[in-house]
Amino acid sequence: MVYVCLMAVDPDHVLRSAAALLTRKSTATMDEVAKAAGISRATLHRHFAGRDALVRALESLGIEECRAALDTARLDEGTASEAVRRLVGAMEPAAGLLAFLYTENQLFEGEEQNAGWSLIDDRISALFRRGQLAGEFRIDLTPAWLTEALYGLMASGAWMVHSGKGAPKDFQHMIVELLLGGALRREES
Partner DNA sequence: ACCATATGAGACACCAATGTCTCATGCTGG
Partner DNA sequence: CCAGCATGAGACATTGGTGTCTCATATGGT
Q: Which residues bind DNA (CB under 7 A)?
A: 1, 3, 5-9, 29-31, 38-43, 45-47, 49-52
Give yes or no for residue 178 binding its own copies (CB under 8 A): yes
Q: By CB under 8 A, what part of segment 13-72 binds its own copies?
A: 24-27
Taking alpha carbons only, the member of 45, 166, 27 closest to residue 100 is 27
State yes or no: residue 159 binds its own copies (CB under 8 A): yes
Q: Which of 165, 168, 169, 172 binds its own copies (CB under 8 A)?
A: 165
Q: Which of residues 95-154 bind its own copies (CB under 8 A)?
A: 103, 106-107, 128, 131, 135-141, 144-146, 148-149, 151-153
CA distances from 137 to 37, 73, 80, 141, 149 (A): 44, 19, 8, 9, 14
Counting contacts by CB under 8 A, is residue 181 touching its own copies?
yes
Q: Can you tell me the distance from the alpha carbon of 92 to that of 115, in angstroms, rounded to the nearest whole number? A: 23
Buried b vs exposed e over 153-162: b needs ≥16 C-beta within 10 Å? bbbbbbebbe
Backbone phi and psi for residue 11, each to the nearest 5 degrees, phi listed first: -60, -30
3-state secondary structure 138-164: CCCCCHHHHHHHHHHHHHHHHHHHHCC
How many residues sit close enough to its own copies to count as binding (CB under 8 A)? 46
CA distance 153 to 151: 6
Instruction: Kindly tell me which residue out of 68, 81, 108, 117 binds its own copies, with binding defined by CB under 8 A.
Output: 81
According to the binding rule CB under 8 A, does residue 164 interact with its own copies? no
Cα–Cα distance for residue pair 127/129, rounded to 1 Å: 5
Judge contact between 48 and 54, C-beta under 8 A: yes
Between 1 and 183, whose beta carbon lies closer to DNA? 1
Residue 6's binding partner among DNA, its own copies, none (Cβ under 5 to 8 angstroms by kind) is DNA
Query: Which of 39, 84 has the CB closer to its own copies?
Result: 84
- Binding flag, residue 82, its own copies (CB under 8 A): no
Closest CB 123 distance from its own copies, rounded Å: 17
